[in-house]
Amino acid sequence: MKIALLGNPGAGKSLIFNQLTGLGVEVNRYPGSSITIESGSVCCQKEITELIDLPGIYSLDGNSEEEILVRQFLEAGKADIIVMVLDATRLERNLYLLTQVAEFPCRMIAVVNMIDAAERQGLTIDAEILSARLGIPVILTAASEGRGINRILPLAKESAQVSGLIIPYDIHIEAALKSLEKTLSTPRYRNLLALQGTGDDPTLTDAAAAIAQEIEQRHMMSVRQIIATNRHNFARQIASETIRQGDRKKTYDLDQILTRVIPGLPILCAILFLLLLSVFLIGSWMESWIVDLFNIYILNPFTALGLPPLEDKIGFSVLVALQAGFGIAFPFVFTFYIGLSLLEDTGYMTRAAFLADRAMHRLGLHGEAIIPMVIGFGCTVPAIMSLRILKTRREQTIAAFLITMVPCSARTVVIAGIVAAFVGIIWAFSIYLIIFVLLILTAIMLSRVTPGEQFGMIVEMSPLRQPKAGLVLAKSWLRIKEFLFIAMPLLIITSIALGLFQFFGLTTVFEKMVAPITVTLLGLPDYASTALVFGIFRKELAFETLAVLAGSANLGSVMTATQLYVFALVSVLFVPCISTIAVLYRQLGAKIALLISVYTVFLGIFIGAIINILIK
Amino acid sequence: MQHSLREDYLEAICFFMEKNGRFPRQEELAAALGRQADEVPAILADLINEGEVTMSPGGLVELTPHGKITGERIVKKHATLQCFLSEMLGMDQAAASSEACTLEHTVSDETIDRLGDYLKQPITNCPGRHRFGHPCVNTQFSLLDFNEGDELIVCGILGRSSAKRLLDLGVVPGQRVKIRRKLGSRSIVVEVKGCDVALSPEIAAAVSVERGP
């Protein structure tokens, strides 16, 4: 049996899902989309039940990837029972989605969650009236306290029902629905979607489009607006019958300080700075541990085996790739994810988006784009994946360019390891400054040339909540798993390829070939080009390879300060790493992936050459 | 002669003039009025006696200055009534037009003037006026025109068909909203159905609102 959880973002679905499934969660990429869906098995009443956590959505008839996915999921009847999770503190708005789901012919129950928060606000919700009005069983739960959670699955299995809710639409919409039903004998829910221009049956959508146009002319309002208004009014009706507002306790509204420019903006900057600083400090400390352990217990014993040279090279490459993957994934990316999940779960990220809206507009984006940008400081790969929250292709393209330029944690290692260590801390900050300026210039240029429509921010501010440690860890764990899943195979393959490249002595040929650029233009030693190429594979490898090729870990003694500075700058700007290119390709297509790669190569070399000439 | 019949004739001549740029012949007038051609001459004779119309040498029915004033007044009454019936009350255009045809003969000039002003003025304090959308389109008040703490009622969402998310979050005509925060950059937070929603200035500008009662 399959049971799916469905609800608005932030209604507490994930928490319920986590509490019901515990460990043993599977993450699957939904066919044909970049969205991952979590599912897990639960034993309930001596039967294995598969529980699916659908992505949080506001509506069923929109065209975002998530909405389409959930709609197709419902239409195909992929779940036996739908558990609709509602936020008790925002019941009226949550009922809007329920009115849509209830039109689909699926068995369902409603879970009114966060009843504890509602009680604190003095709200009482009458589950019986709600159940009678909706025609489905309703239970009240408080997932954060574990209240009522155990009753969800038994209730769903025993008494889930098809709601049969009939929403009274405007008379013209009703007439249109009836005539479509009569002429094409299609079900009501599909006719409703068709009137709003959604559906894959051309006879139905064409017929509906003609009627819709007539209705729109008569009402001077889009059919979507009419239908949404009818549904909201219906939801309000039900909510007013079921909710009683008692005495409301006065609580201090933190948004008084968080969403004002002063002190909101300084707080935002401080939070982001602290996040990056702590990731960097904790990360470098953990990384040295992992790298050392790997060297002592795996790499050294492997070299001691004394395999034939080719096998040795391949085996060594695989192990180095693993070391590299874990050396960056856990210390930096995982730490960053924990911080990020904390920020998300407290509800702070939506405030950040609001405050950053104006600055982001200058870059041709809007407030919501700050979320991928911040993620980009941790790792570019998940940042690109999170681009789908931006609604237009134009915004996604601009943001993709900018994100690949944001110094991720691996690039921070390069800057710290080369510039901060051998040239000076001030110079390290100057690299950030240069990147920042280039980023703004790129954005200004792109916002002029990128075709497409600009679309503003519409974000629901999540209520400020205390994050749950378990949920934060679970979320970070899922994300790191996804990261390893994408990055690891690529790391291993490229590592082997580069190992073979070196083995057959092709590196010297390559170094000679690109010497005009590296030596003449950038003023670097010839072996630096190999190090830069290794940087494509994994950014901070550029730094490690350089040390190996230079034959000394004390880079200051082999290269001049200018050379080190130029090398760090070029490798930071230069081509995104191979995992980034792969995810760009998957998310935005080959053209954008290629454009970004070429652009960054030229930018890196160009800026490197200018600095080289200026300082020399 | 019947008062309303006289006005119908004058209105029809005015209307024909507006449409074709010349006065009608007798048979054209009959067609415009939907009447038999043989009824027309008798009534025209009455109108000529009253000094409302003259017959030109070319056989055209021409309005005298006095007849023109009467005719244009009726045309205006018809248009105002039809606009009110269709756009404010949501009646079908054809039904509104035929209803206006009956009402235009009895309604006073003052009523029409006041109704015309009412249709033209921006929305002030009349919930339900926006039910059929159109009058709101003419108003210039968006969310950006109000300040923190103002309680408002949504009239409609202009232009952006892509602002579907707004509808999903409950920003629909008739919904009460409250401006919770407005920054110098004009990004705003509105409270809708107990939830705070952050909007970019260009989105907020597309939401037309009026002050709540």
Burial class (CB in 10 A: 0-12, 13-18, 19+), A551: exposed
pTM exceeds 0.80 = no
Percent of chain B with pLDDT over 70: 87
Q: How far is CA A77 from CA A4, A17, A80, A163, A201, in A?
A: 11, 20, 7, 15, 18
- C-beta atoms of B169 and A58 within 8 A: yes
Token pair for A138:
């309703």
| pLDDT per residue as tens digits for the range B109-128 | 888 888 877 776 543 333 33
CA angle A191, A195, A199 (to 5 degrees): 65
Pick the residue from chain A with its C-alpha nearest to B131: A219
**CA-CA distance, A270 to B72, in Å (whole number)?**
70
Q: CA torsion sign, A54 to A58 to A60 to A61? A: negative
Contacts of A354 in chain B (CB under 8 A): 181, 187, 189, 198
Confidence of residue B137 (pLDDT cuts 50, 70, 90): very low
Q: Which of B208, B204, B211 is CA-nearest to residue B138? A: B208
For testing contact with chain B, the best of A92, A230, A460 (most B CBs within 10 A): A460
Q: Write phi, then psi, for A34 (nearest 5 degrees).
A: -100, 10
For residue B66, the surrounding DSSP H or E stretch is helix B65-83
- C-beta atoms of B200 and A367 within 8 A: yes
Task: Give the distance from residue B157's alpha carbon to the nearest chain A alpha carbon, in angstroms.
Answer: 8
Residues in chain A: 616
Confidence of residue B131 (pLDDT cuts 50, 70, 90): very low
Helix/strand/coil for B192: strand
Contacts of B189 in chain A (CB under 8 A): 255, 259, 354, 461
| Other beta carbons less than 10 A from residue A465's beta carbon | 14
**CA-CA distance, A84 to A90, in Å (whole number)?**
14
Q: How far is CA A435 from CA A425, A427, A568, A614, in A?
A: 16, 13, 12, 17
Could you tell me which residues come within 8 angstroms of residue B4 by beta carbon, excluding any fewer than 6 positions away? B105
Task: Give the distance from residue A59's alpha carbon to the nearest chain B alpha carbon, in angstroms.
Answer: 6
Helix/strand/coil for A82: strand
Could you tell me which residues come within 8 angstroms of residue B197 by beta carbon, excluding any fewer than 6 positions away? A458, A459, A460, A461, B169, B171, B189, B190, B191
**CA-CA distance, A49 to A22, in Å (whole number)?**
14
Token pair for B93:
């255009």
| pLDDT per residue as tens digits for the range B141-156 | 889 989 999 999 988 8
| Residue where the block lists tokens 């999940």 | A341
Contacts of B200 in chain A (CB under 8 A): 357, 361, 366-367, 456-458
Distance of CA A106 to the CA centre of its chain: 30
Position B159 scores a pLDDT of 64
Position B130 scores a pLDDT of 41
- C-beta atoms of B198 and A58 within 8 A: no
| pLDDT per residue as tens digits for the range A434-449 | 999 999 999 999 988 8
The boundaries of every CATH 1.10.287 domain in chain A are 171-245
* Structural domains of chain B, ranges and CATH numbers in brackets: 1-121 (1.10.10.10), 132-211 (2.30.30.90)
| pLDDT per residue as tens digits for the range A92-119 | 999 999 999 999 889 999 999 999 989 9
pLDDT tops 80 at residue B135: no
- C-beta atoms of A458 and B169 within 8 A: yes
A2-162, what's its fold? Rossmann fold (3.40.50)
- C-beta atoms of B162 and A455 within 8 A: yes
Q: How far is CA B94 from CA A172, A472, B7, B62, B125, in A?
A: 16, 62, 20, 28, 30
Task: Give the distance from residue B201's alpha carbon to the nearest chain A alpha carbon, in angstroms.
Answer: 8
For residue A236, the surrounding DSSP H or E stretch is helix A223-242
Token pair for A387:
């681009």
| Residue where the block lists tokens 């997932």 | A143
| Other beta carbons less than 10 A from residue A114's beta carbon | 27
Q: What is the CATH number of domain A171-245?
A: 1.10.287
Of A92, A225, A260, the CB nearest to B172: A225
Regarding an ipTM greater than 0.90, the answer is no
The boundaries of every CATH 3.40.50.300 domain in chain A are 2-162
| pLDDT per residue as tens digits for the range B64-90 | 888 888 888 888 888 888 878 877 776
Distance of CA B14 to the CA centre of its chain: 20
Position A276 scores a pLDDT of 84
What does DSSP assign to residue B104? Answer: T
Position B20 scores a pLDDT of 80
Instruction: Characterize the bridge pairing of strands A81-87 and A107-113.
Output: parallel
State which residues of chain A have pLDDT below 50. Answer: none
Q: Write phi, then psi, for B189 (nearest 5 degrees).
A: -115, 125
Cβ-contact B178, B152 below 8 angstroms: yes
**CA-CA distance, A391 to A456, in Å (whole number)?**
9
Position B129 scores a pLDDT of 41
**CA-CA distance, A403 to A576, in Å (whole number)?**
10
Confidence of residue B132 (pLDDT cuts 50, 70, 90): very low
Of B87, B166, B189, the CB nearest to A354: B189
For residue B209, the surrounding DSSP H or E stretch is strand B207-211
